[in-house]
Structure 1
């Protein structure tokens, strides 16, 4: 399948597979407590809103196939205005569409996105008639090295919603989570 020709389809497919993995983990481990929503318009830099364990995450999703050469991602500065904004860069197998590894750029649950100050301002991918590529003042280029690497959806879930999710799920009624 030509990934560049069908990039919009692939983007939605990877998004739905990712949501499915999060929901499956919530079903199996956390009593179906995860809530997921999508914005009607894409003008604030996020693709999903997910909530669990009292943490609301505004998530920008990026995707690359395993072995891809992409060295950075473009991130909207308005994502930093959201509570617990983050970017998840999902790698997937081109043949099987299996997800992983996952790259995460964000802070602890409940904390804002790390500062994007000092990052390069992105430019439009296509130039005007003269070939000039204008800057995109609200978009920053985030290098791959700024992301934390996770091998499993479990690690992503913990980064998103905290280790207390795991403790709360194993706590018996009447007990306090440690």
Structure 2
């Protein structure tokens, strides 16, 4: 079995792959939980082709739609904040779901949730600190501030949530 250094290196090098696996696990878990509760109630699933609107996934259940930005952190990860696009936060049904997972097998441990009711935008984050680009630097060599993004502290997220609790946070107990 590989050591933790090998896993961390693979997580960094294959982040798109890991994100796709985790999104599939998220959707499968929610669909399975909804099926368990009511097999006649469908979960409508739409993928975002272009990630410039701030969301990765749109889920619908009944008359409720959720625009979801998916973030990820492994169980030993220490992320204290998550960057969110301001325009996205104003969209009714917008929310952020953080998938907390095992680095050894990419299994979901739990979820974190930041958002409001399905028909409301997420809580206002305009007063939070502007995000700093993890990659881009200005001419002075300093990391660029991303004026249209805000860092939402991890402490503002609900959780840890299991799949059923996340389904309730997304669509209410009617789901």
Question: Does the pair score TM above 0.5?
Answer: yes
**Does the aligned pair in 2 maintain the 1:100–1:151 contact within 8 Å?**
no
Q: Distance in 2 between matches of 1:130 and 1:112?
A: 37
**2:172 is the counterpart of 1:157:** no
Q: 2:67 maps to what in 1?
A: 58
**2:51 is the counterpart of 1:30:** no
Query: Which 5+ residue runs of structure 1 have no aligned equivalent?
Result: 166-178
Per-residue deviation, 1:99: 0.8
* 1:9 maps to which of 17, 20, 37: 17
SS at 2:131 equivalent: strand
1:163-178 matches, cutoff 5 A: 163-165=173-175
Larger Rg: 1
Per-residue deviation, 1:27: 2.2
1:108-128 deviation per Cα after TM superposition (whole angstroms, max 9, x unaligned):
222211001210111222324
Runs of 4+ in 1 over 6 A off after TM superposition: none
Per-residue deviation, 1:129: 4.9
Q: 1:170 maps to what in 2?
A: none
**Does the aligned pair in 2 maintain the 1:150–1:156 contact within 8 Å?**
no
The alignment's TM-score, normalised by the length of structure 2, stands at 0.88
Structure 1 window deviating more from structure 2 (140-149 vs 91-100): it is 91-100
* 2:131 maps to which of 122, 125, 133: 122
Q: 1:139 maps to what in 2?
A: 149
Q: Distance in 2 between matches of 1:163 and 1:22?
A: 13
SS at 1:164 equivalent: coil
The alignment's TM-score, normalised by the length of structure 1, stands at 0.87
Query: Which 5+ residue runs of structure 2 have no aligned equivalent?
Result: 1-6
Instruction: Give the number of equivalent residue pairs.
Output: 165
Q: Distance in 2 between matches of 1:123 and 1:151?
A: 28
Q: Which is richer in strand?
A: 2
Q: 2:3 maps to what in 1?
A: none
SS at 2:143 equivalent: coil
